[in-house]
Amino acid sequence: MAAQAGYSGTPLPGKLGLKDGQAVAFVGLPESQESLAASRDFASVETVGEYSELQGQDLDYIHLFADRAGALDAAIPALRNRIRIDGMIWVSWPKKASRVPTDVTEDVIRNRALRDVLVDVKVCAVDDIWSGLKLMIRKEHRAAVAAAREQARDSKPLPDAGSA
């Protein structure tokens, strides 16, 4: 089912911007979409149940599947800190027509993302159950986000030589 979604005729991995050589992560990937993790020749693939389990940094692509709005408050800023400055986060939620219980909507995702200098740039029908919203760091904020990341890296204490 992951190969085709919606009515555009474009295979789903292409609609989502998945490309060979990317470092990608999937969070809460439903069984119906497991083929996404093998859809390209990725540089690295990480598949986890919860965003807090992610190990990767400077990822090109993260796809979060969420059915609870409360989880987005912590997940979206954490994921923003794991993508490359020009990377993308897809947040997928159950469509109303799917009858899957959820309090996540496109507006909920968008409003939460805006607080973290993210902007939505695309919406996509993932399958009959899931819709997705593509988020990126706003271009005008990328330099500031990059500088803040660099400062955070520089301010981390060095390990004690005696404890190594």
* Residue 162 counted as domain residue: no
- pTM score of the predicted model: 0.89
* Residue 164 counted as domain residue: no
Q: Give me the number of domains the chain comprises.
A: 1
How do beta strands 130-137 and 83-94 pair?
antiparallel
pLDDT digits (tens, 9 = 90+) for 2-61: 445 555 689 999 999 999 999 999 999 999 999 999 999 999 999 999 999 999 899 999
Domain residue limits at 30: 12-155
Q: What is the CATH number of the domain that holds 38?
A: 3.40.50.150
- CA of residue 126 relative to chain centroid, distance: 14
Nearest to 25 by CA among 93, 74, 94, 78: 78
User: In sequence order, what are the beta bridge partners of 63?
Assistant: 26, 90
* Residue 5 counted as domain residue: no
The two structure tokens encoding residue 79: 């994921």
pLDDT digits (tens, 9 = 90+) for 98-117: 999 999 999 999 999 999 99
Long-range contacts of 49-53 (CB under 8 A, 24+ apart): 51/27, 51/75, 51/78, 51/79, 52/78
* Residue 7 counted as domain residue: no
* Residue 1 counted as domain residue: no
